[in-house]
Structure 1
Amino acid sequence: MPGPGHMSGPMWQPTAPPDLGRLVAWHPQPVPVLPLLCLLGALLYGWAVWRLRRRGDDWPIGRTVSWTVGLLLVVGVTGTGVGGYSMALFSVHMLQHMVLSMLAPIPLLMGAPITLALRALPSGRGRRGAPRRVLLALLHSRFARVLSSPVVAVSLFLLSLYGLYFTPVFDWAMSGFVGHTAMLIHFVAVGMLLFWGLLEVDPVPHPMRPPFRIVELFVTAPFHAFFGIAFMTSKDEVAGYFAHPMASWHLGALADQRVGGAIAWAFSEVPTLLVVIVVVVLWARSSDREARRVDRRADRDGDQERNAYNAWLAGLGQPHRQGHA
């Protein structure tokens, strides 16, 4: 498999033209921050699962697989040639952005990392229980309630699109290692924040009924689609950083920008469908659990709730009949 090509510049940009082999090859960079964070996330998650199993508690294998898939998606667009060519081509950068903010957060959140941490971390009032108390304090804090509110979450997500690419902030972030790495982490963070409230696999400060979550999801879709269309139809280079691709690659900046816009537009559809499916499935499972809970309670108390309700209905007509006697 060919390597990512000769690297040059402070950001280790590739100079060889892109192909499939170079896109999937490992991308050398000064410090692979996001791959290292993913490795840390895998180790912590594995430790938490091991801790549960050690004391005899189960943890669904599907959640572990989902968490792993999410981490692999992040590594796949930051530790490979995709990460390198995202510094040279707007289309590849947009693919990276969409995966980090729209695709990877879904399996990451389906892994229920907050629930796992709350179950695995030791409880108590001493130093040993401090990490769990801090996590609970954060979940119940005013900061978490404000940040996770639908209005704030959606606004931050849209700001990461329009406020980044249509302002000088994008060129600044792309010009240095620290700014670029912070931008990539921001993409993952805003995606996690948005889908945290939409999926509700983990406890959230603002729980909503599934229909309202689906409405919130569809509110963002037109803004996201218009963002992609703006790049597809623009007659000028919107992202100045990518205005001058390498001449030897024979790729026009405007044509590449339109491809990037098409990628952004397409990603307004796929994650939306995935989230709707997940919300509907979880909604159905929740309804089934509630029905089973009601049935078990009826078996225990002889269905007293239904008997009391029937008695109340029967008593409604008694005063009326007595008044006409």
Structure 2
Amino acid sequence: MNNRMNIDDHGMSGPMWMPSEPPTLANVLAWHPQPYALFPLLCALLAVLYALGLIRLRQRGIRWPIGRTASWIVGVGLILWVTATGIEGYGMAVFSVHMFQHMILTMLAPVFLLMGAPVTMLLRTLPAGKGRRAAPRRALVWLLHSPIAKVGSHPAFTLALFVFSLYGIYFTPIFDSLMSSVWGHYFMLLHFIATGIIFFGPVLMIDPWPGTKSYIFRIMLMLSSLPFHAFFAIAVMMSPAPIVHFFATPPPSWNIDVMDDQLWAGGLTWVFGDAPTLVVMLALAILWMRSDDRLARRSDRQAERDGDAELNAYNAYLQRLAEHEAAWSRAHGRSAGNG
């Protein structure tokens, strides 16, 4: 009850934050008012900026794949869905709803946002050159090649951050501390989104992220997160007591069994460890095949331009190698005969 009282003191509960009605499907999916409307404003900003980028690209005559636009819309829509509806409100009282929100913000929305290639769009729309107008683009290029970006995209950092967002938040007092205020709660949700972007960015490599381009290594990095996710889900489901105090006392009139709800929360975590991974693996496979196709087409165009000079040079190298070997054999054959 102390946690609930602290939340009341900070203005997070009541009609403007936590719903008073029991959670039903209709209530969970309904629009839910919230203080400051941070995430609706953020989603509106992301949608408007992307639309302006599309207009700029069209003015420059640059074609932009419709799949990227659709992915961006889905990513922004997922964030809005889980932060501006009853999912956000009931996520303040029910662990399973909160964990569903967490998984969407970390495992699904970032993947779709990254597939929208926002950094590539910025590089193609921002003015280039050496003048003042080109300063934002130069700053972006510098950031992409900076030590900060290299460290932030290193597998050791991205995997550690991913693991911390599970074990470090829920198995320590950090969760209860963040949930004790509006802005602590908002910070945690933003952390979930950032964690997903930082982890999946170097894996998908849609934008020019620092790091290896090897598809095999990126697939291995993706698979390396599965055991941590699975063990966390098992720990949540097998815990004999609530793992966070914040959800230990839901409103009595809702008739929620805390341990059953925690079991659901662990199950949702397990599912979201596997399903998005399959989506990302499929995306990587498609990107790999497209990369091979582009490389083959590039080689064919080069061969047409230079009369297949590369192949001719390689054949000439093999011919010289064969002649050298034959000459060496003849020379040693005569030496043996003379002997």
TM-score in terms of structure 2 length:
0.92
The residue matched to 2:162 in structure 1 has which SS?
helix
Indicate the residue corresponding to 1:78 in structure 2: 83
2:334 aligned residue: none
Amino acid at match of 1:267: F
Say what the alpha-carbon RMSD is for the aligned residues.
Answer: 1.1
Q: How far, CA to CA, are the matches of 2:73 and 2:296 in structure 1?
A: 33
Question: Match for residue 60 of structure 1?
Answer: 65
The residue type equivalent to 1:90 in the other structure is F
1:158–1:223 Cα contact (<8 Å) kept: yes
**How does 1:58-137 map onto structure 2 within 5 Å?**
58-137=63-142
1:130 Cα deviation (Å)?
1.4
Q: How big is the shift at 1:149?
A: 0.7
Q: 2: distance between equivalents of 1:93 and 1:159?
A: 17
Q: 1:55 is matched by which residue type in structure 2? A: R
Q: Which amino acid aligns with 1:303?
A: D
The equivalent position to 2:261 in structure 1, one of 256, 262, 265, is 256
**Gapped runs of 5+ residues in structure 1?**
1-7
Distance 1:134 1:41 in 2: 20
Unpaired stretches in structure 2, ≥5 consecutive residues: 1-6, 332-339
Question: Greater CA deviation, 133-142 or 185-194?
Answer: 133-142
Q: Is 1:289 paired with 2:305?
A: no
Residues of 1 paired with 2:112 and 2:266: CA distance?
24
Q: How far off its partner does 1:126 sit?
A: 2.2
Query: 1:129, CA displacement in angstroms?
Result: 1.1
Higher mean displacement: 275-284 or 58-67: 58-67
Q: Deviations over 1:162-217 (max 9, x none)?
A: 00000000001111101000000000001001110110000011133111111000
Compute the displacement of 1:125 (Å). Answer: 2.1
Opposite residue 281 of structure 1, the aligned amino acid is I
Supply the distance in 2 between the matched residues of 1:191 and 1:321 (Cα, whole angstroms).
Answer: 60
Distance 1:130 1:207 in 2: 28
Task: Note if 1:229 corresponds to 2:244.
Answer: no
Q: How far did 1:136 drift?
A: 1.1
1:322 aligns with 2:327: yes
Quote the Cα distance in structure 1 between the aligned partners of 2:183 and 2:254.
27
Letter in 2 for 1:252: D
Aligned residue type for 2:265: G
What is the rounded CA distance, in whole Å, between the counterparts of 2:149 and 2:177 in structure 1?
Answer: 29
C-alpha separation between the residues in 1 aligned to 2:39 and 2:233?
A: 26
- How many angstroms apart in 2 are the aligned matches of 1:319 and 1:80? 76
Superposition map of 1:25-64 within 5 A: 25-64=30-69
After TM superposition, the structure 1 = structure 2 runs for residues 176-325 of structure 1, keeping only pairs within 5 Å, are: 176-323=181-328, 324=330
* In structure 1, distance between residues paired with 2:90 and 2:30: 11
What is the aligned residue count? Answer: 318
CA distance in structure 2 between the aligned counterparts of 1:207 and 1:322, rounded to whole angstroms? 44
1-structure distance, mates of 2:68, 2:89: 30
Question: For structure 1, which segment, 313-322 or 23-32, has the greater mean C-alpha deviation from structure 2 after superposition?
Answer: 313-322
Cα distance in structure 1, aligned partners of 2:134 and 2:254: 57
- The aligned residue for residue 162 of structure 1 is 167
| Cα distance, 1:127 vs structure 2 | 2.1
Tell me, in whole angstroms, the C-alpha distance in 1 between the residues paired with 2:324 and 2:25: 82
Give distance in 2, aligned partners of 1:320 and 1:73: 66
Report the AA paired with residue 29 of structure 1: Q
SS at 2:301 equivalent:
helix
Shift of 1:90: 0.3
Q: Specify the structure having the higher radius of gyration (Cα).
A: 2
- Percentage of matched positions with identical amino acids: 52
| 1:308 partner letter | A
| Contact 1:34–1:185 (8 Å) recurs in 2 | no
Alpha-carbon distance, 1:308 to partner: 1.1
Alpha-carbon deviations, 1:197-252, whole Å to 9, x = none? 11000001113311111100000001001111111111111011001111111111
In 1, the alpha carbon distance for the partners of 2:314 and 2:139 equals 45
Say if 2:153 is the partner of 1:148: yes
Deviation digits for residues 275-319 of structure 1, max 9, x if unmatched? 000000000001000000001111111111111111111211223
TM-score, normalised by the number of residues in structure 1: 0.96
Aligned residue number for residue 337 of structure 2: none
